[in-house]
Chain A
Amino acid sequence: MKTLVMVLAMVVCANAGDLMLKRGMSQIGAVQLTASGLAQAFRLTVTNGTIWVGILFLTGFMLSYMTVLSWADYSYVMPAGAFGYALLTLLAVIFLHEPVSPRRWIGVALICVGVLLVGQTKPRTTAGGATA
């Protein structure tokens, strides 16, 4: 049960963090690729409250991710990360009203499948070939 709660916290924090970063950068506007444009963007990002809320959520994600990995298998946690890509795209449609084409949905589905496959492989953490 605690694993499920932590995985849920992980997914919520990651998605909320990314959405907040997007909202913050939308408030700032498109960054110009010039020295002054980058400097101004840097100044605006470090003074933007929404960006800091996003960073706070991402810190929460990192803490819950590290915590859940301390007791749960990576192959159990990894699919949650894959699920996050699909959920984030869905949230972008709902909250940010982003248009997502069928081709992009297929791409997201392929990423989810790929991450799931990666999560199923056993990590080898020693030179001798022992599995973790």
Chain B
Amino acid sequence: MMRVILALAVLILGSTGGEIAITHGMKSTGEPARLRPLALLQFLGRAVRNGWFWTGVPLMALSFYALLILLSWEPISLVIPASALSYVVGTLGAKYILANV
């Protein structure tokens, strides 16, 4: 049971931490100038040069790996609904870290 809680914590904190880091990175990158292919490529280029982006991606990869490990242990009807806790953690993270309210 303890290992399931641990993996669930990694899944939730990893995905929420990753989303917060990427959100922070994307906000500091700014919006694309235009919704044209060249402008979007330049926007993507700026995003991948942002350190927060590369903080978020490994966290989300870690979260995905925790999901796979959990799926190897527990029924999907438990794992996926339990992962909905990320709504709560994500809202708290947005409120207190990103100050999104």
Contacts and interface: CB of A to CB of B under 8 A. Distances in A.
A21 B77 contact: no
B99 to A, nearest CB: 8
Contacts, number: 68
Interface residues of A, number: 33
A52 interface: no
A104 B68 contact: no
A76 interface: no
B33 interface: no
B41 interface: no
Contacts of A99: 75
Contact of B75 (A30, A31, A85, A96): A96
A124 B78 CA distance: 32
Interface residues of B, number: 20
Interface in A109-123: 111, 114-115, 118
A51 B68 contact: yes
Contact of A31 (B73, B77, B79, B101): B73
Given A25-B72, A85-B80, A88-B80, 10 more contacts: A21-B67, A22-B79, A26-B71, A31-B68, A89-B77, A89-B80, A98-B75, A100-B75, A111-B81, A124-B101
